[in-house]
């Protein structure tokens, strides 16, 4: 193959296509395609959304969700063998005895720890364990913002309606109610801790539009919203000297047969295990992007491997809405080094338009995410109007220069320093040139079912954040994920503290639940050599793996 000639980050042939975009920009400046009708939405979803396309899913054959559909990659893990063998594993005296064990230190887990502490649980009676570092999470990568209905023309009622409409009316009403009602209080709390939300000259929140929203409700911290929220909460957590462990994933729960009573931790560097005994456990392990469902790239962090739903299902927790996966419409499709990484919805919220190869605005930019994503796939794979990259990916343009046209020069650098910096690193100036996008695996819509306080059907087990299901129904809206973590992290912290007031005893530490689980697997005729939780994806080169020998085991 001849060497491609690059001009300012793009190969020559793509540069010619950018000329087309530049040519149509003046006409598009004041034009926005109409939002789809409900019927049009359904049509494009059925035609082009990965959830609706045939294949890719199968039934869960056993347990509380027997009969429900879930992605193959998820069912594989639910059907997998545990990492420990209940007949051989030695449960020692506990290395840690705590009132509350929190698993996962993203926004949900960190918030839970702070609110348990606020509610009277002493810092030293809490333990937060992390698979990676405290803060390594999808929360940290949340760019666009957090929702709260706090403006005059908005209300929790409208927030409720937007949320359930976006979720295809499958959301669990009582948790959505908690979400929308608590949101303004969460902002009061974050401000009191020192989170720097974007403000106008009068000191009011700057609030922007977003996909599926009917009011400007998106609060951001530039395009580092999750980073800012989480680093403040983590700092507060550190200041209170709440104990935490890093590089210590939970590889299995311990139960007394029914109630969750503890967990097995695994030191990723030494291979040693530790036993934790806890009166209450809050699971906040996030989602499953690194399973690369249907072969999609992902926006998710390295540890997003569905550990939480695997562990919870083994102790009998009920899941819901396992059949849907969120693909974010605007993942980077070029250059190769950043494929799949998130380009925040806020770009469209501030005026960037999706365009096809002819420079036409082919879709309303702020449909709910599933509808927007499906329309991009339709443009690329049904209508043949995508742009093909040098590595064979197809994508549509996102006309970022329009942001400065609509908001004034400097808007991109001010509102999107993270995006601007990322493209600059690879030689692309998004103020001048559009960027190429294609849907990317973004979010686990479903998960463990809870009541409005994060309680599950399993005694002793609470969940919060992406690992939970119900609040987003079949499709989450932008700005509701960080809010979900904050609202239900707080509620789980308060609720566990409340539970502790009845002075529950420590429970017996056993692996009885694994016997039950394995019987269900064999009764369902499932045979597998897979093990779970997998903890990390494996991206090692194929040639290396083919010649790898393990001499120490």
Q: Does 405 engage in binding with other proteins (CB under 8 A)?
A: no
Q: Does 553 engage in binding with other proteins (CB under 8 A)?
A: no
Place of tokens 């080094």: 337
Q: Is 495 left (phi over 0), alpha (psi -120 to 50) or beta?
A: alpha
Binding-site member from 114, 121, 180, 463 for other proteins (CB under 8 A): 180
Comparing CA positions, the residue from 97, 143, 12 lying closest to residue 481 is: 143
Distance, in Å, from the CA atom of 477 to the CA atom of 481, rounded to the nearest integer, reads: 8
Catalytic residue among 41, 290, 378, 491: 378
Distance, in Å, from the CA atom of 294 to the CA atom of 441, rounded to the nearest integer, reads: 9
Q: Does 6 engage in binding with other proteins (CB under 8 A)?
A: no
Q: What is the dihedral of CA 284, 290, 295, 299, to 10 degrees?
A: 90
Binding-site member from 15, 58, 231, 259 for other proteins (CB under 8 A): 231
- C-beta of 215 vs 518, nearer to other proteins: 215
Mask for 508-537, x = binds other proteins (CB under 8 A): ----------------------------x-
Q: Does 284 engage in binding with other proteins (CB under 8 A)?
A: no
Binding-site member from 187, 210, 273, 453 for other proteins (CB under 8 A): 187
Q: Does 195 engage in binding with other proteins (CB under 8 A)?
A: yes
Q: Does 109 engage in binding with other proteins (CB under 8 A)?
A: no
Piece of the chain touching other proteins by CB under 8 A; list 15-23, 214-222, 477-485, 506-514: 214-222
The DSSP code for 284 is -
- C-beta of 95 vs 188, nearer to other proteins: 188
Distance, in Å, from the CA atom of 459 to the CA atom of 82, rounded to the nearest integer, reads: 21
CB of 142 to other proteins, least distance (A): 9
- C-beta of 544 vs 551, nearer to other proteins: 544
Distance, in Å, from the CA atom of 197 to the CA atom of 187, rounded to the nearest integer, reads: 9
Q: Does 426 engage in binding with other proteins (CB under 8 A)?
A: yes
Contact 4, 11 (CB under 8 A): yes
Site for other proteins in 302-331 (CB under 8 A): 302
Which residues of 400-505 form beta strands (DSSP E)?
Answer: 435-444, 447-449, 461-463, 468-469
Binding-site member from 5, 408, 541, 551 for other proteins (CB under 8 A): 541
Mask for 146-175, x = binds other proteins (CB under 8 A): ---xxxxx-xxxx-xxx-xx---x---xx-
Piece of the chain touching other proteins by CB under 8 A; list 90-98, 311-319, 375-383, 496-504: 375-383
Q: Does 295 engage in binding with other proteins (CB under 8 A)?
A: yes
Q: Does 285 engage in binding with other proteins (CB under 8 A)?
A: no
Question: Could you give the angle at the alpha carbon of 309 between the alpha carbons of 517 and 130, nearest 5°?
Answer: 115
CB of 423 to other proteins, least distance (A): 11
Binding-site member from 384, 409, 410, 417 for other proteins (CB under 8 A): 417
Q: Which long-range contacts (CB under 8 A, 24 or more apart) does 27-34 make?
A: 28/353, 28/355, 28/359, 28/361, 28/399, 28/402, 29/402, 29/405, 29/406, 31/361, 32/353, 32/361, 32/364, 32/365, 33/361, 33/362, 33/363, 33/364, 33/365, 34/364
Site for other proteins in 113-142 (CB under 8 A): 132-133, 135-136, 140-141
Distance, in Å, from the CA atom of 399 to the CA atom of 22, rounded to the nearest integer, reads: 9
Give the number of residues in contact with other proteins, rule: CB under 8 A.
Answer: 115
Mask for 67-106, x = binds other proteins (CB under 8 A): ----------------------------------------
**3-state SS, residue 262:** strand
Q: Classify residue 158 by burial, with Cβ atoms within 10 Å: 0-12, 13-18, 19+.
A: middle
Question: Could you give the angle at the alpha carbon of 220 between the alpha carbons of 219 and 223, nearest 5°?
Answer: 160
Distance, in Å, from the CA atom of 287 to the CA atom of 301, rounded to the nearest integer, reads: 10
Distance, in Å, from the CA atom of 505 to the CA atom of 515, rounded to the nearest integer, reads: 24
Site for other proteins in 445-504 (CB under 8 A): none
Q: Does 393 engage in binding with other proteins (CB under 8 A)?
A: yes
- CB count within 10 Å of CB 211 equals 26
Q: Does 551 engage in binding with other proteins (CB under 8 A)?
A: no
Within 8 A by CB and 6+ apart from 485, the residues are 106, 107, 108, 111, 139, 284, 464, 465, 466
For the record, the structure tokens of 22 come out as 């530049």
Piece of the chain touching other proteins by CB under 8 A; list 94-102, 237-245, 354-362, 469-477: 237-245
Q: Does 274 engage in binding with other proteins (CB under 8 A)?
A: no
Binding-site member from 88, 271, 542, 551 for other proteins (CB under 8 A): 542
Active site residue 490: no
Binding-site member from 418, 429, 506, 510 for other proteins (CB under 8 A): 418
Piece of the chain touching other proteins by CB under 8 A; list 18-26, 70-78, 290-298, 467-475: 290-298
Piece of the chain touching other proteins by CB under 8 A; list 71-79, 88-96, 199-207, 458-466: 199-207
Mask for 27-56, x = binds other proteins (CB under 8 A): --------x-xx--------xx-x--xxxx
Catalytic positions are 378
């Amino acid at each position: 193959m001849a060497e491609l000639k690059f001009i300012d980050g793009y190969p020559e042939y793509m540069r010619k296509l950018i000329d087309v975009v530049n040519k149509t920009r003046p006409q598009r400046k004041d034009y926005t395609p109409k939002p789809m009708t409900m019927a049009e939405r359904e049509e494009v979803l059925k035609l082009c959304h990965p959830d609706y396309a045939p294949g890719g899913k199968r039934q869960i054959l056993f347990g509380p969700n027997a009969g429900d559909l879930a992605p193959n990659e998820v069912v594989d893990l639910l059907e997998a063998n545990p990492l420990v063998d209940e007949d051989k594993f030695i449960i020692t005296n506990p290395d840690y005895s705590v009132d509350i064990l929190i698993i996962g230190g993203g926004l949900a887990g960190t918030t839970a720890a702070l609110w348990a502490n606020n509610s009277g649980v002493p810092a030293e009676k809490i333990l937060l364990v992390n698979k990676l570092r405290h803060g390594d999470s999808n929360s940290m990568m949340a760019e666009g913002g957090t929702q709260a209905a706090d403006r005059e023309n908005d209300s929790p009622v409208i927030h409720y309606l937007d949320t359930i409409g976006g979720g295809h009316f499958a959301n669990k009403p009582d948790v959505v109610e908690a979400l929308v009602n608590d949101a303004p209080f969460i902002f009061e709390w974050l401000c009191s801790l020192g989170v720097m939300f974007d403000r106008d000259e009068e000191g009011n929140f700057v609030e922007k539009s977003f996909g599926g929203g009917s009011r400007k409700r998106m609060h951001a911290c530039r395009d580092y919203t999750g980073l800012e929220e989480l680093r403040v909460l983590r700092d507060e957590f550190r200041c209170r000297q709440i104990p935490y462990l890093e590089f210590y994933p939970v590889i299995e729960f311990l139960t007394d047969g029914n109630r969750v009573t503890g967990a097995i931790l695994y030191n990723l560097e030494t291979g040693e295990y530790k036993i934790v005994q806890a009166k209450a456990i809050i699971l906040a392990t996030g989602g499953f992007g690194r399973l690369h469902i249907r072969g999609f790239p992902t926006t998710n962090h390295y540890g997003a491997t569905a550990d939480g739903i695997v562990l919870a299902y083994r102790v009998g927790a009920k899941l819901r809405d396992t059949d849907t996966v969120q693909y974010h419409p605007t993942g980077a499709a070029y250059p190769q080094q950043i494929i799949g990484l998130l380009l925040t919805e806020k770009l469209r919220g501030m005026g960037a338009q999706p365009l096809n190869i002819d420079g036409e605005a082919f879709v309303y930019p702020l449909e709910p995410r599933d509808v927007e994503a499906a329309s991009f796939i339709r443009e690329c794979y049904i209508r043949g109007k995508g742009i093909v990259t040098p590595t064979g990916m197809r994508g549509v343009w996102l006309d970022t220069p329009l942001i400065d046209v609509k908001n004034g020069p400097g808007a991109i650098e001010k509102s999107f320093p993270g995006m601007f910096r990322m493209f600059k690193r690879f030689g692309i100036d998004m103020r001048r040139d559009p960027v190429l996008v294609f849907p990317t695996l973004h979010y686990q819509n479903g998960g463990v079912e809870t009541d409005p306080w994060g309680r599950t059907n399993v005694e002793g087990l609470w969940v919060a954040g992406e690992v939970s299901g119900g609040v987003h129904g079949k499709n989450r809206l932008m700005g509701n994920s960080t809010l979900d973590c904050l609202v239900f992290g707080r509620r789980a912290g308060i609720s566990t503290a409340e539970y502790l007031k009845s002075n529950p005893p420590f429970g017996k530490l056993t692996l009885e639940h694994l016997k039950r689980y394995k019987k269900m697997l064999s009764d369902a005729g499932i045979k597998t050599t897979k093990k779970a939780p997998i903890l990390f994806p494996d991206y090692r080169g194929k040639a290396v793996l083919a010649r790898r020998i393990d001499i120490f085991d």
